[in-house]
Structure 1
Amino acid sequence: MATGLRIGWALVNKQSLVSTAMILALGNLAAVAALNWQPLTLLIDTMFSWPNIAMAFSQIALIMCAAGSCVMITTVASARTPSGARSVALAQYALAAVIAALSLALFFAQGAQPQMSPEEYLRRNLGSGGASWVLPLIYVLLAMSLVMWAGLRHSSRSRRGRALFVFTVGITLIVAVAVLFLLRATGLVESVGVGTGATLLGCAMVAVAVGALLPSIEDWFGARRELRVIEPLLAELGRRHADVGIGVRPHGPLVFRVAERMSLISDALFLEASSERRTVDAPSGRAGDADQRPEELTAPAVTPTEQARAIAAWIHAGRGDSPGHGHVRFPGFAWLRQPEVYSDREWILAIAREYRALDRERPSAQR
């Protein structure tokens, strides 16, 4: 699911170095899980006519998973230019390819062994004689340790920060499995069970997948909530200014549709303000929004919530079914500008929340 979602997201958006690395990391982690499924293991071994070759492919997939994760985290945390980041990523992929080739060469150098299940193969070869596992495990340990360190450093309470933390928890479990298997492969510890490592690796895969899916899940629920918030304001402004396209349902991801509708609300608010200024100034022959009053150019000395409430009350008073229809004076263009602590999106949401609150109070006021 996580891999498919990342591939789909990359197809509908501009594919970047980070998204490619994420697809590579998740795809190869999924390959590790699939290659250790015994029916598929037997099928691959039969197709390539070499017993247990699926385990060699598992090594390569684990190495490329570590490489993709490392490229992803170093690119996000890097301050280099795009060309510099691309060069570093290519160097990391080249190193991973060399490690994978050496691991595959060591696997074939050991010769063919009797066909066995993945668990039995690990139990027999992750001992003092498991030379083919030492090199990939060292690389995975070092690369994933870097990913774990960078992930913990950049985790935060933001939406992306929370997802990065969950992803890092999964990477930490992979590091723990790599340490356990490396100790067993070097003969330092013989009591580490393969089943324990496989269980930890399964938990790690779930955590990594959840970390990859979490931003998209939160984006979807957040976009649905924002659509509910802006819907009353969107409908009213769409009734007044249908020419700006409000009400037309854009295609694409839900978060894009929310952004599109917010931009249409912003355009309609400006048109509404311009229209009202022309109406008010017409008797005096003023030039409308090109000749604003001094008080309309001054930033309002109120809190952002009060400013948003004033704009919402002005729009709400223009409704034909609103009590006191048309009795709220246009506050001025300065009131339409978002406060410094608000982004464009946050400001539209603030106005929409206040308008929605007024819309909910309207039936009780009429009664």
Structure 2
Amino acid sequence: MIVWVIAGLLGLATGLRIGWALVNKQSLVSAAMILALGSLGLVAALNWQPLTLLLDTLFRWPNVSTVMSQVALITCAAGSCVMITSAASERTPTTIRRIAVIQYGVAAVIAMLTLVSFFTSPQQPEMAPEEYLRRNLGSGAMTLSWLLPLLYVMLALTLVAWAGVRHSNRTRRGRALFVFTTGVILIVLASAFFLLRAVGTTKFVGVGAAATLLGCAMLVVASGSLLPSVEDWFGARRELRVIQPLLDELSRRHPNVGIGVRPRGPLLFRVAEQMSLISDALYLEATRALEGDDAVARTEANEEPPDVPPDEQSLRIAEWIHAGRDVDGNAADPEFPGPLWLRQPPSYSDREWILAIADQYRILDSGVSVAAS
């Protein structure tokens, strides 16, 4: 049951990445992430005993699921390495693609050698994956078939862990990268324990403990991969609540702005779409406020950009919109502070600036509603 929970979480993370890649432009980083998560999910699924028996029956070769787990783990290490090196590299796209091809090529050679070593070895009785590892790790000739893949996985994921820790930060994506890197570090430790077992050193840790550590590592990797989507969903819900009062008021004043809008779709796209409506409506509101000689004269007198904190600037815009709620649609708002007040401060993006104005407007609107009640 636990194995399928881990495999399900990794499958969900893989599906989300595939959906994101289909909606957005396909990139080398997205493809590598899909490959890494999907391969790790396959490793978890292959440890389910009914599936291992089914594969042994289909391929007519006992314990074939074990070598498939090795190949999947090699693929996961290759995908993770390509993902982190491509995302962190400052080289040209052509050079990054060439480096990725080399990394995939090395992983393919190691996977091929692992398969050849397995299928050229004598067949053994069918057994559970953990029992197979316990009997074969450190058993003379079988050691050679385990050393190369384990060394590759350790080296590749050590590079991933180093780059992940280096680029982790307090942002939403940085926190997810830190959790993902923590899982990768646990996979490196599990691989090190298997490697010690392969060379004959068994006093440090057993196969069962190493397998449990690998399961925990896969769970942490899945959590780190799903964390951005979870935070994006909750963040988008919060942003929808913040901008809704301002959007309702501006939509009432400018109903033509929303013509042709498709409100359904991913939540993040809906938030971006509604913010674009607010931006268009603010432009129309400012254009209407500038109609007339008095408004133009007042604007020319305020050509200097506002020398106030961003909170005060956003509050002034929110107060201007709030004060015009009862103004006739054809009349200019006499309290318009000027077009330069609508421009976001240098430290704000377009999205952050609209959120700041919407948050100030929501506070003003909620205060009026409480006073009226």
Q: TM-score range by the shorter chain?
A: over 0.9
Quote the RMSD (CA, aligned, Å): 2.0
Q: TM-score, normalised by structure 2?
A: 0.92
Instruction: Give the aligned residue type for 1:273.
Output: A
> How is 1:51-90 mapped onto 2 (pairs within 5 angstroms)?
51-90=62-101
Q: Give the Å deviation of 1:13.
A: 2.0
SS at match of 2:308: coil
Is 1:345 aligned with 2:351?
A: yes
Report the AA paired with residue 176 of structure 2: A
Written as runs of structure 1 = structure 2, the 5 A alignment for 1:15-164 is 15-129=26-140, 130-164=143-177
- Amino acid of the structure 1 residue aligned with 2:233: W
Q: Map Cα deviations across residues 70-124 of structure 1 (whole Å, 9 max, x no partner).
A: 0000011100111111111111001000000001111122221111111110001
The aligned amino acid for 1:300 is P
Q: Which of 201, 215, 240 is equivalent to 2:214? A: 201
Distance 2:234 2:181 in 1: 23
* Aligned match of 1:178: 191
Q: Does structure 1 residue 306 correspond to structure 2 residue 312?
A: yes
Q: CA deviation at 1:220?
A: 0.7
Please tell me whether the aligned partners of residues 127 and 190 of structure 1 are also in contact (alpha carbons under 8 angstroms). no
What is the Cα deviation at residue 315 of structure 1? 0.5
Other-structure match for 2:322: 316
CA separation of 1:203/1:246 partners in 2, compared to 1, >3 Å: closer, same or farther? Answer: farther
d(CA) in 2 for partners of 1:70, 1:191: 28
Equivalents in 2 of 1:338, 1:169: separation in Å?
38
AA of the residue aligned to 1:308? S
1:2 corresponds to 2:8: no
AA matched with 2:280 = D
Counterparts in 2 of 1:316 and 1:247: CA distance versus 1, 3 Å? farther
Q: Look up the match of 1:239.
A: 252
Q: CA deviation at 1:292?
A: 7.7
Shift of 1:327: 7.5
Q: Supply the AA of the counterpart residue of 1:109.
A: T
Q: Tell me, yes or no, if the aligned pair for 1:246 and 1:265 is still in contact at 8 Å.
A: no
How far residue 248 of structure 1 moved from its aligned partner, in angstroms, is: 3.7
Q: Secondary structure at the match of 1:165?
A: helix
CA gap of 1:192–1:239, structure 2 versus 1, over 3 A, is same
Partner Cα separation in structure 1 for residue 259 and residue 326 of structure 2: 19
Q: When the two structures are aligned, how many residues end up with a matched partner?
A: 358
- Distance in 2 between the 1:215 and 1:93 partners? 27
Amino acid at match of 1:161: G
CA 14–164 in structure 1, closer or farther in 2 if over 3 Å, else same: same
In the alignment, structure 2 segments of 5+ residues that lack a partner are: 1-11
User: In structure 2, the residue corresponding to 1:62 is in which secondary structure?
Assistant: helix
Would the alpha carbon gap of residues 304 and 93 (structure 1) be closer, same or farther in structure 2, given more than 3 Å must change?
same
Cα 1:250/1:82, change in 2 over 3 Å: farther
| Alignment correspondent of 2:364 | 358
Structure 2 match to 1:212? 225
What amino acid is the match of 1:342?
Y
The amino acid across from 2:150 in the alignment is: L
* DSSP-derived class of the 2:117 partner: helix
- Measure how far apart 1:326 and its partner are: 8.4
1:244-280 Cα distance to aligned partner (Å, 9 max, x none): 21794434321111111111111110110110111x4
Indicate the residue corresponding to 1:268 in structure 2.
Answer: 281
Looking at structure 1, the residues matched to 170 and 86 of structure 2 have their Cα atoms a distance apart, in angstroms, of: 21
Unpaired segments of 5 or more residues in structure 1?
none
Contact in 2 for aligned 1:183/1:189 (Cα 8 Å) = yes
Q: Is the 8 A contact 2:147 2:195 kept in 1?
A: yes
Q: Check the 8 A contact 2:289/2:334 in 1, yes or no.
A: no
In the TM superposition, what whole-angstrom CA distance separates every residue of 1:185-233 from its partner, at most 9, and x where no partner exists?
0123455211101110110011000110000110111011000000000
How many angstroms apart in 1 are the aligned matches of 2:139 and 2:122? 17
Partners of 1:128 and 1:297 lie apart in 2 by 82
SS of corresponding position for 1:127: coil
Amino acid at match of 2:325: R
Name the aligned partner's letter for residue 71 of structure 2.
Answer: I
Residues of 1 paired with 2:268 and 2:372: CA distance? 36
Counterparts of 1:191 and 1:269 in 2: how far apart (Å)? 66
Q: Which sits farther off after the overlay, 70-79 or 259-268?
A: 259-268
3-state SS in 1 of match to 2:124: coil
Residue-by-residue CA offset, 1:51-82 (whole Å, 9 max, x unaligned): 11111111100000000000000011100111
Residue pair 1:235, 1:247 contacting (<8 A) in 2 also:
no
| Equivalent pair of 1:297/1:334 in contact (CA under 8 Å) | yes
- Inter-partner Cα distance in structure 2 for 1:337 and 1:83: 38
3-state SS of paired residue (1:339): coil
Indicate the SS of the match to 1:297. coil
Whole-angstrom distance in 1 between the partners of 2:115 and 2:16: 30
